[in-house]
Structure 1
Amino acid sequence: MSSRDLRSIGLFTILAFALAWLLALPLWFGDGLASPWFTVVATATMMTPAIAALAVVFFVERPQQKAWTLGLWPLRPVPRVLGYAALGIFVSIALVLAALPVGALLGVYPVDLVNFSAFRQLLDEQVGAAGVAEIPIPIGALIVIQLAALPMAAFINLIPALGEELGWRGWLLPKLMPLGVLPALLISGVIWGLWHAPLILLGYNYPDAPGWLGLTAMVAMCILVGAVFGWLRLRSGSVWPAALAHAAFNGAGASYLFFAKAGEHIDTTQATVLGWSGWIVPLALVVTLIATGRFASAKHPSTPPSKEEGRPPERPATGHVTGE
């Protein structure tokens, strides 16, 4: 890796982190997560990796193929990009949902598959606040409808998720690839996890944990889930499958409420996909991908497309992918 690449990575990281902290300052000096501006701040923060990547690409590196460098274009071969996009959506949802029975079996996720009491309680509160008598749909059917609608969240949440993925997997991961696939995935996952610090240290995602533990858990989850998103990026040669996977992952995050038992505490350092029990399935998936050579056969998105074809050459010019 050249010194110029290291400078670009350093500048990108500093800019992404600085912007995230800058946007979070009103929460730190105000009402924290209880602030009415929290959702706006959190959504705006998701755009900071994209801003950092665009700044480096347009003002520092200035490559000829800027959209390709960010993984935005070209979207071909189309069947491959679309296939990995669809796979990313459903794999992300599956990882979030699989964490629940694993947590229940390990005794860290209080489950209620008979009355769905936590979800029923939440509905009663929302219906009461809206002044409606009751919802004329059985709660089981309502949960099925909610689960069936989860893939739509990938498109509803796409823009903010792309704000992150344009930086982490669109630009940063390929830039780290000269170090090798696994180091690139590990480093990008750690950076992604630490970038969440402004909100995690306020109690976001891990409200009952001390700041250091919440941030450590977030980094661990980001390494594992980021490896899955990274695999989608490398295999497809595009940032779009990773962005859709990220959007679906975020959209499915609250699904743990569907099956939880009312009145029971859920420790997110242990339960749901945020906690250690929820990392078992993504860890197994990543290990399987590594063991079967799926990362080794991933395309290396670090060489610009030829001018004649407008796409990357069949073989990577750098040869940094393990097993090539």
Structure 2
Amino acid sequence: MDNRGQPGQKAGFLRSIVRHHPLTSFFVLATGLSWIAWTPYVMSKNGIGEEDFEFPKVLGTSQILGMLPGAYLGPILAAFIVTAVAEGRPGLRRWLGRLLKWRVNWKWYVLALIGVPVALILGGIPFAGVANMAVPPATVLVAIVPGLILQVLTTGIAEEPGWRDFALPLMQPRFGPLPGTLLLGVLWGIWHLPLFLTEWGGYPNVTWVDPVEFIISCIAISIVMTWVFNRTGESLPVAMLLHASVNNFLSIGWAFVFPTLGDSHQSSAHVVLLVFGLTALVLLVTTRGRLAYRPRAATEVPETGGARTGVTG
């Protein structure tokens, strides 16, 4: 029997699946690649301790070597692969175009860089009390800018070209802005689940409530980020800065502003849920669930092939 054509047939079959089901292909690839890459981190002493090795700390944390490689192998790589296969160079140009769309009104940068930390501080007051707040030392304030740059180059670049740049423009026209965002938020939260078995998630002091609360927070944050993404005409830099600004304040400033709450994963998680949950509710009411989405006049059926459309601000 002549099997010489089989590899080419298999490759063609896989390309056909990706082209006809880009969203499904993306989420399967993004989750699968990251979870596989995170397995050593989960199994190590930084996780459940099944293997007798430990990831060394870089910049004071094991996450740089343990978590970051899996993040880079997930959403951004999956988005690149699926876009290249399903849409070719025109699709890649559109994908990269949103990544480089930084020319937006300066108010959006103020919202991401200053509004987010201020909102988180206000949200922390009910948990700590004004009397227990403190002014961070100068060293912390100096570290804010390089910390933000690091967060953009790590978390921002690794995740947002996938979640917001690739998936969201496909999900909004297919499911609608709110249902699409809710689904994206759930899948975004599920992607993080193995990390709750590591230092990232506070293991071993983790209960079932923590990942559930986290997924709900991902939904709330996604609602806010969808609105920002739509209002800025699909500017990914603003979305990345918003995401990075949350992580940066919680990593650098949180414990100093609220010393009585300290590095508690639970306290910061409650505040994130409170702040973004309330903001999401306000946006849902004021936009009537549309989240500033306005479809363009173009035909697009993401899961059955066809050209991809976008949104305008």
For the pair 1:158 / 2:152, whether they are aligned, the reply is: yes
Which ranges of structure 1 fall in alignment gaps of 5 or more residues?
Answer: 117-139, 305-316
Could you say which residue in structure 2 is the equivalent of 1:11? 25
For the pair 1:50 / 2:76, whether they are aligned, the reply is: yes
Could you say which residue in structure 2 is the equivalent of 1:258? 256
**Mapped partners of 1:65, 1:169: distance in 2:** 15
**Mapped partners of 1:247, 1:101: distance in 2:** 22
Structure with the largest fraction of helix: 2
**Mapped partners of 1:162, 1:228: distance in 2:** 19
User: How many residue pairs end up in the alignment?
Assistant: 272
Percent of pairs with identical residues:
22
Note the C-alpha offset of 1:85: 3.2
Note the C-alpha offset of 1:252: 0.8
Deviations 1:86-117 (A, max 9, x none): 32222332333233213225xxxx9733xx5x
156-165 or 181-190, larger mean C-alpha shift: 156-165
Match of 1:41 among 66, 72, 96: 66
Contact kept, 8 Å, 1:158 with 1:247, in 2: the verdict is: yes
Note the C-alpha offset of 1:216: 1.0
Note the C-alpha offset of 1:288: 1.6
Match of 2:198 among 199, 202, 212: 202
Matches within 5 A, 1:136-215: 140=135, 143=137, 146-147=140-141, 150=144, 153-160=147-154, 161-178=156-173, 179-202=175-198, 204-207=200-203, 209-215=205-211
TM (norm. structure 2) is 0.73
Three-state SS of the structure 1 residue aligned to 2:208 is helix
Contact kept, 8 Å, 1:165 with 1:242, in 2: the verdict is: yes
- Greater relative contact order: 1 or 2 (C-alpha under 8 angstroms, separation 6 or more)? 1
Contact kept, 8 Å, 2:224 with 2:280, in 1: the verdict is: yes
Give RMSD over aligned pairs: 3.4
Note the C-alpha offset of 1:206: 3.9
55-64 or 17-26, larger mean C-alpha shift: 55-64
**Mapped partners of 1:215, 1:64: distance in 2:** 38
Tell me the amino acid that sits aligned with residue 125 of structure 2. Answer: P
Note the C-alpha offset of 1:164: 0.4
For the pair 1:91 / 2:86, whether they are aligned, the reply is: no
Q: Which runs of 4+ in 1 moved over 4 A?
A: 3-6, 264-267, 299-304, 317-321
Contact kept, 8 Å, 1:150 with 1:248, in 2: the verdict is: no
**Mapped partners of 1:66, 1:144: distance in 2:** 43
